[in-house]
Homo-oligomer: A and B are copies of this chain.
């Protein structure tokens, strides 16, 4: 879904929002990284090659950071490494999704590198994704929490459902805001929610705190994806960067498009139908699309929606006592939302 692309080179002031959280879980993340490296190991050498091509290429590891932080927020002692293993599982589930997405999207690039499917073929992307999913479940089993297993296995099915929904909606301009939200809840926000929810579960906290952590993750994930979809059109500053227009070329119906289409004249709708529905894209069409998105305030409004979900995420944390972890989790909201500036 191109989620990771846009956080490669964030502006320094935006990155600052995440710094506190990164610092708070630095020890745990060092162990997560060691775990990731050891669990991609296999005598079948193509497996670590393909897995590490993607894993080593970076990304902020936002999801495992959230698992560690939510466990810490709930006072998880951490002497059994349960948080580290679940955090690594979450990252493996994410990596497996990216590998499979590349096959689905027929992507050539991922995180600024040639996609694994181009270098090793679709086969390797599918199978190494399957291997990582299996390893994710093995680690969850080692942790031994059936409740955490339940949450993460349910997330695996919901993610797949969201991706299939996106496939069904592709090139379909009748997609409305509700259908778009259902897709991003599944494909993106569900894993954020599960990554957060397993924190209080590990710490043995009451259901209200599990639900609150889940709700924080869900709203944060929605905000994150909304901004990602804005960034795919270069953000609201209208500076044309790298990778702008991928969604446009793939006919993905994201919220900016839903809004601009609904507000457009009959002539504009014809433009969207030709480009997104029929996939007939000519020179200058991306510039026209950007112009229409600007004219109808579609990018600004999508950012406003992200701010709304950011506020929901902040409110979800109310049940937790104030402190450095809660403050840093709020900083992560700023990071996710402010990327579009």
Contacts and interface: CB of A to CB of B under 8 A. Distances in A.
A68 to B, nearest CB: 22
Interface stretch (A144-152, A227-235, A256-264, A323-331): A144-152
A46 B160 contact: no
Contacts of A126: 100, 103-104, 126
A182 to B, nearest CB: 9
Contact of A156 (B42, B122, B133): B133
A76 to B, nearest CB: 20
Contact of A164 (B122, B124, B138, B159): B124
A43 to B, nearest CB: 8
Contact of A47 (B121, B144, B164): B164
A81 interface: no
Nearest to A150: B141
Contacts of A291: none
Contacts of A77: none
Contacts of A130: 96, 100, 133, 156, 159-160, 163
A168 interface: yes
Interface of A: 42-44, 46-47, 96, 100, 103-104, 121-124, 126-128, 130-131, 133-135, 137-138, 140-141, 144, 146, 149-150, 153-161, 163-165, 167-168
13 contacts: A47-B161, A100-B126, A100-B127, A104-B122, A104-B126, A122-B122, A130-B160, A131-B157, A131-B164, A134-B156, A137-B149, A138-B154, A146-B146
